[in-house]
Structure 1
């Protein structure tokens, strides 16, 4: 299950044959993302386990399994900003229940990220996915 925004990214990745072009596209996605307000760059929104500094700020509408999850994020590394943009495309606008059903490794695997990110970046991406899942889990139980 993927959002239309994520499908657009996947289609673009299919079109781009060269990984260098895909890498540039990820960076461009990050550049297009609005910066996170300084007031949201706090320990509660910081994602641990990332080599770069990463913040994910949730915006949850409603409560329970039908709560709609949106989030904003930022990082001090451009490639990581791009990865955040991809996660926003993958999850934002889904209900908590839908977000918990997303097979993030499989969806991200469609982009070939697993084969082209350093182990540190892969671990950081996993930490970001886990943060989103934790937010969805908490929202579904609220």
Structure 2
């Protein structure tokens, strides 16, 4: 499944819900399914700067040159948000991540329904994933 197909799947999933309380509940549920980072990797260098909550993100490259992402957060909404990003970017090639246009966020109206600090944190998460992909390309 391509990055675009994954984004469309998220857009379709969110279209089912009528109001933002239901969408927040769905985001919380997504956080429960997040591929959790190894507790030993919850280190300062894996913390995403710019997030109100603590968010750890780890990226590894598998034998097929695809990025594998795991994460965790101390806040349930934030955990769901990073879960959405991992759903889109996990198991993708670094060059595809770098080139991708992340449009599902605006399509589902997520950014407008976050506090300014959470919206900044979302941007920081996207930036960190793209930087990890760029770093993988440079190696």
TM (norm. structure 2) is 0.91
SS at match of 1:74: strand
Instruction: Give the one of 116, 135, 139 matched to 1:119.
Output: 116
Offset at residue 43 of structure 1 (A): 1.3
> Is the aligned partner of 1:103 residue 2:101?
yes
In 1, Cα distance between the equivalents of 2:123 and 2:135? 18
Q: Corresponding residue for 1:41?
A: 42
Q: Is the 8 A contact 1:91 1:99 kept in 2?
A: yes
Q: Which consecutive aligned stretches of 4+ in structure 1 deviate over 4 angstroms post-superposition?
A: none
Structure 2 portions without partners, runs of 5+: none
Aligned residues: 138
**1:87-102 alignment to 2 at 5 Å?**
87-102=85-100
Q: Cα gap change, 1:49/1:82 in structure 2, threshold over 3 Å: closer, same or farther?
A: same
Q: Structure 1: state its 5+ residue gaps.
A: none
Give the CA deviation at 1:112: 0.9
SS of the residue corresponding to residue 17 of structure 1 reads coil
Could you state the TM-score of these two structures normalised by the residue count of structure 1? 0.89
1:34 to 1:70, Cα distance in 2 relative to 1, 3 A: closer
